[in-house]
C-alpha cells in the first residue's frame, strides 16, 4: 500500500518520535519492579530503539490485583453499555488521530513496510469501533418456560482477561483481542511481544487520554517465560487469549490445567495451501495474488499462502508468472512507502529462514528464485523472495511453518489429489482456491479442513467475519460478533413464579 507521506516524511517523523518504555499498571506508567529492561532493536538498521521495562511475576501479580479490583468495583464491568461504548469510541478516535505514529512504531520495531503498517491501523481502529458499536446491541434471552417460571439467560463478562500477542501484526492483533474483551466488560492485561512492545505502550497513553477507569486496561512488556508465563499460571486470570506459535499455545493449555482452568483461546500457526486449478481465468492475475499471498509482510503472516498447489497441466507456465511477480517484490527500506517487503524481525528468525532454505536445497527441492540474505540497508536483516518448485510433502519446507518469504510449489493432477494434499497438514488456518467452476468451488470449499477458505482471492474478509483456525492452528475466533461472545459467560437465572394467590 502506498501512503500519502513520502519516504522523507516518514524518515522525519521517525526522527521526531519519543518512545514510552514503561509498563502501564493501574493507569500509571512505571518501571518493572525489578528495574530490569530489555532492548528493542530496529531490524532494518540493527540499531537499538529503546530499553523497555522487563516485567516479570511481581509486576504481573500487581496488574492482576488491580484488574480484579477494577472488575469487582464495577466501574467498567457494570458501566452502562452505552457509556462503555462512548469511552471505546474515544479511544478509536485517538488511534485515528495518531495512526501515522502508531504505524511507524510497528514498522520501526519489527521491520514491516510502513504502508502495510498503515493498513494494519485501519484494521485495528475498525475493530475497536465495531466492538464499541456492538456493546449496546447485545441482548440476553428469555427461556421458553411455563407461566410458573421465568428463565433469564444473561451474558456477563468473564473477569480478568490476559491477552498475549505476537510481533507480526503488533497493534492489529492487539485490537482483535482487546476490542471484544473490553467491550464485553472485562479487565484486560496485555502482554505484547518482547520484539514489538512500542505500539502497545503508545496505545496505553491513548487509553489514559480516553479516560478509561483505573485497572481496566494494563500493559506488561516483557518476555514470554517471565511476564507471559506468570499471567498464564495466575489463579486470578479468567481467560487467556493468545495469538502466537503452536508450541507456545500448547504450553498455555498446560498452564491453564496446572492453575485454575482458565479459558484458553488460541490463534496459532499455519502452513496454508493455495490451490490453483487449470480452469481459472486470467492466470497472470492469479499468479500475482499467489506471490503476494506469501511475500506480503515478508512471509511473516500466520495465513501466508506458503504451499502453492498447482494443477500440473498449467504448472510450468504458472510458475514462470509467479517468478516474474516475485522478482518485483524485493525487500527495501520499510520507511519507503514503495517497498513491498521490509526487514525480518530479528537475527533468530533471519537465521531460521535461511536454515530452512538450506534444508530445502539439501532435501532436493528445486530453488527457482532467491534463497539468500540481501542488504538494501547496511546492518539490516532482509531475505530475498524465495521460490522452490518440485516440493513434496516429505520435505521439511513442505510441512513446517517457516514464517518467512519462502514459497513451496507442489503439482497435482486431480481434484481429489489436490484436496488430499491441501488437508495433509497439522495446521488448518487458511486455504485458497482458484477456479471458475462453481460446483468444484462448493465441493472443495466444504472439504478443506481450514478456518477460512478464500475463493478467487487471498486473505479476503473484513471485521464482519470470524477469523481463526482448526487442528493445530488453534480454537479461537477473532473478529465479528462471535469474538465478542467468547469474552462473556452465560448465566441462568431461574425464577419461580406464583401462578395464582
- Alpha-carbon distance 204 to 105, whole Å? 13
- 224 near ligand NAD (CB under 6 A): yes
Interface region with ligand NAD, contact rule CB under 6 A, candidates 133-141, 226-234, 323-331, 487-495: 226-234
Using an 8 Å Cβ cutoff, are 64 and 189 in contact? yes
Min dist. Cβ of residue 214 to ligand NAD (A): 24
- Give the one residue of 66, 191, 307, 477 binding ligand NAD; rule: CB under 6 A: 191
Select the residue interacting with ligand NAD from 27, 186, 234, 243 (CB under 6 A).
243
In this structure, what C-alpha cell is assigned to residue 445?
A: 470449499
The yes or no reply on residue 119 touching ligand NAD (CB under 6 A) is: no
In the set 84, 85, 229, 477, which binds ligand NAD (CB under 6 A)? 229
Which lies closer to ligand NAD via its Cβ, residue 53 or residue 323? 53
Q: How far is the CB of 355 from ligand NAD (least distance, A)?
A: 16
- Which helix (H) or strand (E) element contains residue 331? none
164 binds ligand NAD (CB under 6 A): yes
Residue span binding ligand NAD (CB under 6 A) among the ranges 242-250, 355-363, 387-395, 408-416: 242-250
Task: Tell which one of 44, 105, 132, 248 touches ligand NAD (CB under 6 A).
Answer: 248
Residue 240's alpha-carbon distances to 134, 221, 262, 451, in angstroms, are 22, 16, 7, 20
User: Quick one: which of 425, 421, 488, 415 has its CA closest to 451?
Assistant: 425
259 binds ligand NAD (CB under 6 A): no
Dmax over CA atoms of the chain, in Å, equals 87
**Integer CA distances (angstroms), 62 to 32, 125, 212, 390, in order:** 11, 29, 18, 54
For every residue of 72-119, which 3-state class applies, written as one string? Answer: HHCCCCCCCHHHHHHHHHHHHHHHHHCHHHHHHHHHHHHCCCHHHHHH
287 scored as a contact of ligand NAD (CB under 6 A): no
Applying CB under 6 A, does 187 fall inside the site for ligand NAD?
A: no
Q: Does 193 bind ligand NAD (CB under 6 A)?
A: yes
Alpha-helical runs (H) found in 169-274: 170-183, 198-209, 229-233, 246-258
In whole angstroms, what is the distance from residue 122 CA to residue 460 CA? 15
- Identify the residue among 159, 179, 185, 269 touching ligand NAD (CB under 6 A): 269
Annotated active-site residue in 267, 311, 401, 486: 267
> Burial of 500 by CB count in 10 Å (0-12 exposed, 13-18 middle, 19+ buried)?
exposed
CB of 273 to ligand NAD, least distance (A): 15
Residue numbers 346-385 binding ligand NAD by CB under 6 A: none
Q: Is 127 a catalytic residue?
A: no
The smaller minimum CB distance to ligand NAD, of residues 315 and 479, is found at 479
Cβ–Cβ under 8 Å, residues 306 and 407: yes
Among positions 13-32, residues that touch ligand NAD (CB under 6 A) are none
CA dist., res. 467 & res. 28, Å (int): 33
232 makes contact with ligand NAD (CB under 6 A) = yes
Task: With contacts defined by CB under 6 A, name the span among 238-246, 289-297, 321-329, 489-497 that binds ligand NAD.
Answer: 238-246
Stretch that binds ligand NAD, among 85-93, 109-117, 160-168, 316-324 (CB under 6 A): 160-168
DSSP 8-state code for residue 299: G
DSSP letters for 347-373: HHHHHHHHHHHHHHHHTT-EEEE--SE
Q: Which of 127, 280, 302, 311 is flagged as catalytic?
A: 302
Segment lying near ligand NAD (by CB under 6 A), choices 135-143, 158-166, 279-287, 370-378: 158-166
Q: Does 428 bind ligand NAD (CB under 6 A)?
A: no
Return the closest-CA partner of residue 117 out of 102, 96, 98: 102
Q: Under rule CB under 6 A, how many of the chain's residues touch ligand NAD? A: 31
Residue 164 is placed in which grid cell? 498475549
The question of whether 302 is a catalytic residue gets the answer: yes
- For cell 491501523, the residue is 121
Shortest spacing between CB 268 and ligand NAD, in angstroms: 5
Site for ligand NAD in 292-351 (CB under 6 A): 302
Q: Are 350 and 383 in contact (CB under 8 A)?
A: yes
Residue 10, phi then psi, degrees to nearest 5? -65, -40
Which residues make up the interface to ligand NAD (CB under 6 A)?
Answer: 164-168, 173, 191, 193-194, 223-225, 228-229, 232, 243-245, 248, 251, 267-270, 302, 401, 403, 429, 469, 473-474
**Active-site positions?**
267, 302
Amino acid at each position: 500500500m502506498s501512503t500519502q507521506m513520502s519516504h522523507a516524511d516518514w524518515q522525519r517523523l521517525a526522527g521526531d518520535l519519543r518512545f514510552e518504555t514503561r509498563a502501564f499498571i493501574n493507569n500509571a506508567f512505571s518501571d518493572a519492579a525489578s528495574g530490569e529492561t530489555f532492548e528493542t532493536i530496529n531490524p532494518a538498521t540493527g540499531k537499538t530503539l529503546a530499553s523497555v521495562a522487563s516485567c516479570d511475576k511481581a509486576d504481573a501479580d500487581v496488574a492482576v490485583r488491580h484488574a480484579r479490583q477494577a472488575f469487582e468495583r464495577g466501574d467498567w464491568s457494570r458501566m452502562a453499555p452505552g457509556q462503555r461504548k462512548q469511552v471505546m469510541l474515544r479511544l478509536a478516535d485517538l488511534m485515528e488521530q495518531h495512526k501515522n505514529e502508531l504505524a511507524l512504531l510497528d514498522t520501526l520495531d519489527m521491520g514491516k513496510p510502513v504502508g502495510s503498517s498503515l493498513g494494519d491501523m485501519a484494521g485495528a481502529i475498525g475493530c475497536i469501533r465495531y466492538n464499541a458499536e456492538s456493546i449496546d446491541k447485545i441482548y440476553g434471552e428469555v427461556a421458553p418456560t411455563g407461566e410458573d417460571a421465568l428463565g433469564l439467560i444473561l451474558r456477563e463478562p468473564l473477569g480478568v482477561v490476559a491477552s498475549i500477542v505476537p510481533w507480526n501484526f503488533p497493534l492489529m492483533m492487539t485490537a482483535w483481542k482487546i476490542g471484544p474483551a473490553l467491550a464485553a466488560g472485562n479487565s484486560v492485561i496485555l502482554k505484547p511481544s518482547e520484539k514489538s512492545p512500542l505500539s502497545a505502550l503508545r496505545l496505553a497513553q491513548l487509553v489514559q487520554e480516553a479516560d478509561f477507569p483505573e485497572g481496566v486496561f494494563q500493559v506488561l512488556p516483557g518476555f514470554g517465560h517471565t511476564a507471559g508465563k506468570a499471567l498464564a499460571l495466575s489463579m486470578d486470570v479468567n481467560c487467556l487469549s493468545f495469538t502466537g506459535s503452536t508450541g507456545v499455545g500448547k504450553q498455555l493449555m498446560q498452564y491453564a490445567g496446572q492453575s485454575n482452568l482458565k479459558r484458553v483461546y488460541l490463534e496459532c500457526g499455519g502452513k496454508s495451501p493455495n490451490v490453483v486449478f487449470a480452469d481459472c481465468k486470467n492466470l497472470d492475475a492469479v499468479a500475482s495474488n499467489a506471490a503476494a499471498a506469501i511475500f506480503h509482510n515478508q512471509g511473516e503472516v500466520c495465513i501466508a499462502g506458503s504451499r502453492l498447489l498447482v494443477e500440473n497441466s498449467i504448472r510450468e507456465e504458472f510458475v514462470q508468472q509467479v517468478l516474474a511477480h516475485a522478482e518485483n517484490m524485493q525487500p527495501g527500506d520499510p520507511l519507503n512507502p514503495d517497498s513491498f517487503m521490509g526487514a525480518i524481525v530479528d537475527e533468530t528468525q533471519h537465521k531460521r529462514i535461511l536454515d530452512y532454505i538450506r534444508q530445502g536445497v539439501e532435501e532436493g527441492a528445486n530453488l527457482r528464485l532467491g534463497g539468500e540474505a540481501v542488504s538494501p540497508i547496511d546492518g539490516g536483516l532482509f531475505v530475498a523472495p524465495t521460490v522452490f518448485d518440485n516440493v513434496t510433502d516429505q520435505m521439511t519446507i513442505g510441512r513446517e511453518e517457516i514464517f518467512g518469504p519462502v514459497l513451496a510449489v507442489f503439482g497435482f493432477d486431480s481434484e481429489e489429489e489436490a484436496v488430499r494434499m491441501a488437508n495433509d497438514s497439522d495446521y488448518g488456518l487458511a486455504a485458497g482456491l482458484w477456479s471458475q467452476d462453481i460446483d468444484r468451488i462448493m465441493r472443495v470449499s466444504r472439504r478443506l479442513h481450514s478456518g477460512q477458505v478464500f475463493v478467487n482471492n487471498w486473505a479476503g474478509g473484513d471485521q464482519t467475519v470470524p477469523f481463526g483456525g482448526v487442528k493445530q492452528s488453534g480454537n479461537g475466533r477473532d473478529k465479528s460478533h462471535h469474538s465478542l461472545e467468547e469474552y462473556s459467560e452465560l448465566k441462568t437465572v431461574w425464577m419461580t413464579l406464583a401462578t395464582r394467590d
